[in-house]
Structure 1
Amino acid sequence: MSLPTTLPDQSGRTWLVTGATNGLGREVARAAAGVGARVLITARDAARGEWTRREIGAASVIDVDLASQASVREAAARVEEPIDVLIDNAGTITARRVESIDGHELVFATNVLGPFALTNRLVDRLRGRIVIVGSGAHKRSRIDFTDPHFRRRRWSVAAAYGQSKLADMLWALALQQKLTDRHHPATVQLAHPGWALTNLQNATGHARLDDAITAACRPFAQPADTAAASILVAATADLPPVSYIGPGGLGGLRGAPAHASRSPAAMDRSLAAAVWRLAAEETGTDL
């Protein structure tokens, strides 16, 4: 199925984009603003958020640290207007196991629990499309429901990031079911950027090594504005609920947006229900 690559006019519509101060989020916010959307962006660093707001023409900045449930609660309370498109894009990778202020493993806290709670707290203001950004990394991963925060088992970058992205894929399934049961007007879509040249790969903690990794990736990875296309299609195209959009070429790493494949685990509704229960318990939010 051919997918549109031109953004429709978004005048009169409001987008909220998380993680919009760099990389994919910034390109998504810039593109939405460019076709008339009123764009709200989130930022962990207020100064950087304000700089980005001026650069892309966003309407306002919402200060939030997605790894802190208190910060998420306060941020959601500051959003008073209806949201037509919510882009749950913000994510992180760490070089070692780190805990959030709430005692959660930081990758899981930022990539899953924060977006989960923010979306739940905004649900009564949502009226259009929710896009959750996944990753091909989910295909090689599993979720350990007995130890999701790696308190007992061995932590690794691949295990932590992959688990978080499989959880995002399953959260999307569960969220759509919850919205359908409530006859809520919003629908959920999934997207992944493929191999994107963003700051996400700069997680070693060593500037020289990060620079070397970026230089090695540059000839092969898509620039952020190209990689953001899949997210924009997921946000605006006429799609069945919980479609998964990603680059259509070179093993899903590059190319124009297309319907992407996902692992059997990512379509398991019993696992989706288990992810929902876990996230609801950890965040104290539910629908």
Structure 2
Amino acid sequence: MSAWTATDLPSFAGRTVIVTGGNSGLGAVTARELARVGAGVTLAVRDTAKGRAAAAAMPGDVTVRALDLADLSSVRQFAEETAAVDVLINNAGIMAVPHNTTVDGFESQIGTNHLGHFALTNLLLPKLTDRVVTVSSSMHRIGYVSLKDLNWQSRRYSAWLAYGQSKLANLLFTSELQRRLVSAGSPLLALAAHPGYSSTNLQGQTGSRVGNALMRTIGNGLLATSPDFGARQTLYAASQDLSGNSFIGPRFGVIGRSGTAGRSLLAKRGSTARELWDLSSELTGVQFSL
């Protein structure tokens, strides 16, 4: 049997999908392929001009709406103005950036990659009919979630460790969301995916000339797979018959067939997942809504 690719996607006719960060990189490929098979796709993006340019190059029914995950007021407005949706794909993210804070005062990576998506997902839960797919990373393995210092106010900031924390948080969020969905008797699924290492616009934003050059030449030039390959993992998670809390990625970490991926021991720690959920709810003011 040949490896699964986007050409194997089933029809999404009559179904609606939201893709955060759907104007570039993996998000754009994900949105394009879902639109190609008939989905009504919403690109939820910070820059709507770039979103409209991306949408113009996609087939089918693609709309663009403003969403800034680094601003909880934007997240709330987006959720309030959203009608029923079948699939939410939490794709947007930033990677290994210099220290900064969101509008609400969160460290930018945990704020954008985790807390923004945490709030968005919970606000949209009553309107969802199928599943939530959250894009994590194999770099979750370097992460440690500090419940006492989630926003790097006491620790010396490390761009890569902050990224790892945010991607670990994505997996802990997925597992706890699935646990809560089951407890509530909901048929919704919570899943996660990671692309391996794909060449996208995420790389080269470290604030270091040397670091950026290494990522663009050695990383993207020699090690990275294509955005189409990376997005394949998300598309698999969004379309296939899978168990809740599945984590999808390339079989050999960065290459290979799409399927269930391994996760770190910290990503399996249920007590941390529950505590992180409670802390995230406190920080965002958003509760589990089922």
TM-score with structure 2 setting the length = 0.93
Q: Deviations over 1:77-112 (max 9, x none)?
A: 1112x2111100111125321011111100010000
- CA gap of 1:35–1:282, structure 2 versus 1, over 3 A, is same
Q: May I ask how many residue pairs the two structures share in their alignment?
A: 284
Aligned with residue 131 of structure 1, among 95, 108, 133 = 133
1:226 aligns with 2:243: no
Mean Cα displacement is larger for which, 204-213 or 92-101? 204-213
Mean Cα displacement is larger for which, 86-95 or 202-211? 202-211
Aligned residue for 2:270?
269
**Counterparts of residues 111-130 of structure 1 (less than 5 Å):** 111-130=113-132
Unpaired runs of at least 5, structure 2: none
Mean Cα displacement is larger for which, 8-17 or 92-101? 92-101
Q: Which amino acid aligns with 1:41?
A: L
Q: Deviations over 1:162-195 (max 9, x none)?
A: 0001111000011111111222221011100001
Question: What CA distance in whole angstroms lies between the structure 1 residues aligned with 2:210 and 2:55?
Answer: 29
Query: Alpha-carbon deviation of 1:206?
Result: 6.3
Query: Alpha-carbon deviation of 1:205?
Result: 3.7
For residue 17 of structure 2, give the secondary structure of its aligned residue in structure 1: strand
**Counterparts of residues 1-287 of structure 1 (less than 5 Å):** 4-5=4-5, 6-57=8-59, 58-80=61-83, 82-205=84-207, 210=212, 213-216=215-218, 217-249=220-252, 252-287=253-288
For residue 103 of structure 2, give the secondary structure of its aligned residue in structure 1: coil
Q: Deviations over 1:239-264 (max 9, x none)?
A: 11111110112xx0122212111011
List structure 1 runs of 4+ shifted beyond 3 angstroms.
Answer: 1-5, 205-212
CA contact (8 A) 1:76 1:118 kept: yes
Query: Alpha-carbon deviation of 1:155?
Result: 0.6
CA contact (8 A) 1:95 1:204 kept: yes
For residue 52 of structure 2, give the secondary structure of its aligned residue in structure 1: helix
Q: Which amino acid aligns with 2:280?
A: A
Mean Cα displacement is larger for which, 127-136 or 52-61? 52-61
Question: What CA distance in whole angstroms lies between the structure 1 residues aligned with 2:57 and 2:213?
Answer: 25
Q: Deviations over 1:190-210 (max 9, x none)?
A: 100001101111213467964
Question: What CA distance in whole angstroms lies between the structure 1 residues aligned with 2:56 and 2:214?
Answer: 31
CA contact (8 A) 1:244 1:260 kept: yes
Question: What CA distance in whole angstroms lies between the structure 2 residues aligned with 1:29 and 1:170?
Answer: 25
For residue 131 of structure 1, give the secondary structure of its aligned residue in structure 2: strand
CA contact (8 A) 2:4 2:257 kept: no
- CA gap of 1:272–1:141, structure 2 versus 1, over 3 A, is same
Q: Which amino acid aligns with 2:240?
A: A
**CA root-mean-square deviation:** 1.8
Question: What CA distance in whole angstroms lies between the structure 1 residues aligned with 2:262 and 2:167?
Answer: 14
Percent identity over paired residues: 39
Question: What CA distance in whole angstroms lies between the structure 1 residues aligned with 2:183 and 2:276?
Answer: 18
Q: Which amino acid aligns with 1:23?
A: G
CA contact (8 A) 1:142 1:162 kept: yes
Q: Which amino acid aligns with 1:124?
A: P
Question: What CA distance in whole angstroms lies between the structure 2 residues aligned with 1:74 and 1:94?
Answer: 28
Q: Which amino acid aligns with 1:168?
A: N
